[in-house]
Each structure stands twice: as C-alpha cells, then as structure tokens.
Amino acid sequence: MLSHVGTINAVEKSALALKKYLNYEIYLINVFGEFDYLTDNNNFTVLNIFSFRKWPKTRIWSKLVIYTFTIISFFKLLHYYRKFKPDVILANLVGYIPNLLKFIFPDLIVINSIQGLPKFNTARKILWNLFYIKADNIFTMTNFTKNKILENLKVKKNIFKVENPIITKKIKILSKEKINDNEKFLFKGVTFCAIGRLTRQKNFIEILKAVNIIPKKLHSSFKIIIIGTGEDYEKLSNFIKLHNLENIFLLGFKKNPYPYIKNSDYFISSSLWEEPGHAILEAGYLNKVVISSDCPNGPKEILKDRFNSIKYKLNSHESLAIIIQNILDKKIKNNFEIKLNMKKIVKNYTMLQFSKKFNRIIN
C-alpha cells in the first residue's frame, strides 16, 4: 500500500506469529515502502521491489500506481521466488500477482488473505475466477465475506475464516506513553475517540453531523478526537469551521494512537463497512466501550448492541447524536459487562490463535 493502513500492521503481526510460534523463516515483500520501518528487524528479511518512495498517496493517481506497478512487480517476485524458494506465499493484498506463480510452479502453496469485502463487479468476477481459484487456501476475516466469495467463485472449498493477529501485549505497553502537555486538555470532560484514514469508508462526517445537532450548551462537556490523515481532511475541516464545532479536533496521523484510546472514555466507529475493524478490537482490548454503526460486515457480525458494544443505525447521525447525548445525561452508563463481553471477542485476534489456525489449515 502507498500509505499506512491497518493491513500493514496485520501483515507484520501475522509474520511475527509464524516466526514466533511455528519457527518460519519470513520474507516480507516491500513493494512501495510499506515495510521500510522493518528493514532492521531481525525477525524478517525485507525484500524491496522498488526503491522509489515518492508515490502519490490519494485519489485516482494512487489507484493507477497501485495496479500498474503491482503488475510490473511480478517479474521481481519471480526473481525472489527462484532465489529463496519459499514453501508458502501469504498474500494479503492484490493477491492475483502471487497466484500467477502457480501457473509456473504448481507445488508452491499460495494463500490469499482477503483483508476487505470485495465488490464483485463483472471485471472482478472474471479476474478472481482466473487467478484466485488457483490459491490453495483463501482466508477471510468474517463469515459474511466468506459466503460472498463462495457465491461468486467457482471454487467451493478451502475457504476459512482466520482472524488477523492484531492484539498483542505491546498495545497496552504503548498505551501507557504520556500524552503531550499541550493535548491533555482533550481529556477533560467526556472524550470520544475515532481512528482511521480520513476516507469515505470511515464516514467521519457522520460524527460531525451528530455533534452539530446536539445542543450547543452541552458542547463544553465533551470532546471528539479524530486520529488519521486522508483525502477527506479538507471536507471535515470545512464542516467543523462552517458550524463552529470547537469541541472536535482532527489530530492527524499518530505513530502511537493507543494513549489517545486509553485516555478517552468511548471509542466511535462510524464506518460504512469494516472487515472487521482493527481499531474497534484494539479499543475493546484497552477496555473502552465501543460505539459503532451497524454497518456490514464486521460490526454487524461480531458486535451486539448493549452486549459487547453500543450500536446505532448506519447513515443516521440523529441516532448517534441521541447515544452521545444519553451518555452525557448519564442515561447510558460506562458498562463493565459490555467491556467484559468485548474482551471475550478480542481473544480470537491474538498471534497464538492465528498461528494455531494457520498450522491446522496448512497441515
């Protein structure tokens, strides 16, 4: 990927799990520089595809770069395959490129880990039925995606739900880092935290619209912090200025977002879709009550209203506003049982659980 997204973290943790628990030798394919930060990590060997780093990161140009240069990268991948002779290739993004190797080396094991809900238009159906059916196994994050793939692919076997191993003890360690003095005011009163790329998918505009219809006299009693960068920054910033929403703060990208989650009272996910939503799970791990839209497919599948989360109707900022106001009026309490039930879900997303499932499927 051209910018930092949750999948990069998931790939790193998957690689570390296979190294730690199954003693695999790990090579990370570094296409656009997404794994530059792991170059000196002794657990992995980072294999660069391109040395250029100043790629466009947003809009149509980024999509053209991703698909064009990913196709070109096949020849470098072929070179690395012949040099290192791996037993398994685990492809987390643009998986049809590694599947091309199966036409040449049929004994190679290729696993496609689907990191989002694919939209099966005609072109994608053709592409997937040409290449993805060559995979030995397909991993999905949710049963919803698994069923969607089964509906659209000719292959009817070897598809498994395997959760990303994103939950580690390091999250708690990182969450204890101190907040900068000039940001401590953000956590006076009730604080709601949201994290993700500022894109249409994350739908942060819904949070802003919800705050805008809450009576202004209540605005001084709570704050909304949004962590992330992306193409929707200007749109969100303009909405905040237009409606004079002084209790909403766009904090930009944070290398370590966990202290912000830990010091907040609630976590909000306003996404149009998630698979399943890494930040949701990390917030649950840090004992935060999650407020989420009832979007497909992760939140709809793993979150239950008033059991392990508080849910509102997707694309209804009015219903989100009611939840926030009820929290401020103490009509909704910071429920211990909701946190506990969320913790039980989070246990499925550890490196140990991932390595056990992986080993069982491979063997």
> What does the pLDDT read at residue 222?
98
In 155-264, where do the E strands start and end? 159-161, 190-195, 222-227, 248-252
Q: What is the dihedral of CA 282, 284, 287, 292, to 10 degrees?
A: 120
User: One-letter amino acid identity for 193?
Assistant: C
> What does the pLDDT read at residue 160?
94
Q: Please give the Cα distance from 270 to 263 (Å, whole number).
A: 20
Q: Please give the Cα distance from 273 to 275 (Å, whole number).
A: 7
Q: Please give the Cα distance from 221 to 218 (Å, whole number).
A: 6
Burial class (CB in 10 A: 0-12, 13-18, 19+), 14: buried
What residues form DSSP beta bridges with 305?
Answer: 309
| Domain covering 169-348 in this structure, CATH number | 3.40.50.2000
> Hey, what are 147's tokens?
């069923």
User: pLDDT at residue 42 above 70?
Assistant: yes
Q: Please give the Cα distance from 145 to 186 (Å, whole number).
A: 38
> What does the pLDDT read at residue 93?
79
In 72-195, where do the E strands start and end? 88-91, 109-114, 137-140, 159-161, 190-195
User: One-letter amino acid identity for 302?
Assistant: I
10 Å Cβ neighbour count for 166? 23
10 Å Cβ neighbour count for 305? 12
> What does the pLDDT read at residue 96?
84
Burial class (CB in 10 A: 0-12, 13-18, 19+), 280: buried
Q: C-alpha distances in angstroms, 135 versus 68, 84, 210, 230, 334?
A: 22, 20, 44, 33, 45
The pTM of this model reads 0.86
Q: Please give the Cα distance from 305 to 253 (Å, whole number).
A: 30
Burial class (CB in 10 A: 0-12, 13-18, 19+), 193: buried
What residues form DSSP beta bridges with 46?
Answer: 28
- Give the residue from 307, 260, 269, 264 showing the smallest Cα distance to 291: 269
- Give the residue from 102, 151, 160, 158 showing the smallest Cα distance to 131: 102
Q: What is the pLDDT of residues 9-27, one digit of tens each?
A: 899 999 999 999 999 999 9
> What does the pLDDT read at residue 334?
61
What lies within 8 Å, CB to CB, of 96 at 6+ separation is: 127, 128, 130, 131, 132
Q: Please give the Cα distance from 205 to 235 (Å, whole number).
A: 8
Least confident of 50-59, 119-128, 242-251, 320-329: 50-59
> What does the pLDDT read at residue 168?
93
Q: Please give the Cα distance from 116 to 105 (Å, whole number).
A: 27
Q: What is the pLDDT of residues 183-192, one digit of tens each?
A: 999 999 999 9
User: pLDDT at residue 141 above 80?
Assistant: yes
User: pLDDT at residue 128 above 80?
Assistant: yes
> What does the pLDDT read at residue 338?
95
Q: What is the pLDDT of residues 319-348, one digit of tens each?
A: 999 999 999 998 887 689 999 999 999 999
Percentage, residues of the chain above pLDDT 70? 99
Q: Are 199 and 26 in contact (CB under 8 A)?
A: no
Say whether 24 sits in a helix, a strand or coil. coil
Helix (H) or strand (E) holding 338: helix 336-346
Domain residue spans of the chain: 6-166+349-362, 169-348
| Domain covering 6-166+349-362 in this structure, CATH number | 3.40.50.2000
Q: Are 1 and 32 in contact (CB under 8 A)?
A: yes
Which tops the pLDDT comparison, 127 or 157?
127
What residues form DSSP beta bridges with 139?
Answer: 113, 160
